[in-house]
Amino acid sequence: MAKVRSIGVFCGSAAGRDPAYGRAAKSAGEAIADSGSRLVYGGGDVGLMGIAAKSALEAGGKVLGVIPEFMIRTEGLYEDAETRVVTTMSIRKNMLIEESDAFLILPGGVGTLEEIFDVLSRQRLSQHDKPVAFLDVDEFWGPFFKLLLRTEQEGFTPDGFHDHVTIHNTASEAVERLLGKLAA
């Protein structure tokens, strides 16, 4: 049975308008810590990513942050977590992907979408076979999956591509799914 070492969390560096997003990030950090996995994230101490990292550490978990030096001014640096400071966003994203055995996606903006598409593109190109789970807070990801399905229907994406990801309503359910997928 494979042991999950790390779960990469992609989410907003902002907290969003709905307090449910922050609650979901807190639950995600706690669920990852409770699973014995390390939370890998973008390294800042703001927004949903800061909430998830702090919650994981407070729950006794391990956290690895990866942040470009130039972003420390705007996103801060979570001093209590192990942090790797890198020079570029590309290095950051590559390290986040390499250090993660699975991915948990929470609500976020353009940066989160860019990370998602990179992970899904690499998966499509057989560069990894790491499971991906979305935490669908208040149906946040509905339009995204509608778009993915449309790209399949129109022949731009292979049929069944969206089957490689799962959508969940709770963090504990998403983490359990990721753990089960890796152990299979």
In CATH, what number is assigned to the domain containing residue 151?
A: 3.40.50.450
- Residue 24 clears pLDDT 90, i.e. is over it: yes
Is 65 a domain residue? yes
Q: Which of these, 104, 85, 107, lies nearest to 19 by C-alpha position? A: 107
Local confidence band at 159 (pLDDT 50, 70, 90 cut-offs): confident
What domain range includes position 14? 6-183
Q: Is the dihedral of CA 23, 93, 36, 55 positive or negative?
A: negative
Residue 57 tokens read as 């550490």
129: CB partners within 8 A, 6+ apart:
123
Q: How far is CA 43 from the centre of its chain?
A: 12
d(C-alpha 89, C-alpha 101), whole Å: 20
- Residue 84 clears pLDDT 80, i.e. is over it: yes
Mean predicted lDDT score pLDDT of the chain: 93
- Residue 162 clears pLDDT 90, i.e. is over it: no
Residue 39 tokens read as 């939370």
Q: What is the pLDDT of residue 160?
A: 74
Domain count, the chain: 1
Q: What is the mean pLDDT of residues 109-131?
A: 93
Q: What is the mean pLDDT of residues 11-20?
A: 97
Is 98 a domain residue? yes
Local confidence band at 1 (pLDDT 50, 70, 90 cut-offs): very low
Residue 115 tokens read as 């990370």
More confident site: 183 or 128: 128
Q: What is the pLDDT of residue 181?
A: 66
- Residue 67 clears pLDDT 80, i.e. is over it: yes
For the beta carbon of residue 149, count every other beta carbon within 10 angstroms.
13
Residue 179 tokens read as 């753990």
Alpha helices in 1-155 (DSSP H): 19-35, 47-58, 72-75, 89-98, 110-124, 142-153
d(C-alpha 91, C-alpha 93), whole Å: 6
Is 74 a domain residue? yes
Specify the pairing of strand 62-68 against strand 38-41: parallel
Q: What is the mean pLDDT of residues 130-146?
A: 95
Residue 162 tokens read as 């969206």
Per DSSP, what are the bridge partners of residue 104? 9, 133
Is 1 a domain residue? no
d(C-alpha 24, C-alpha 173), whole Å: 12
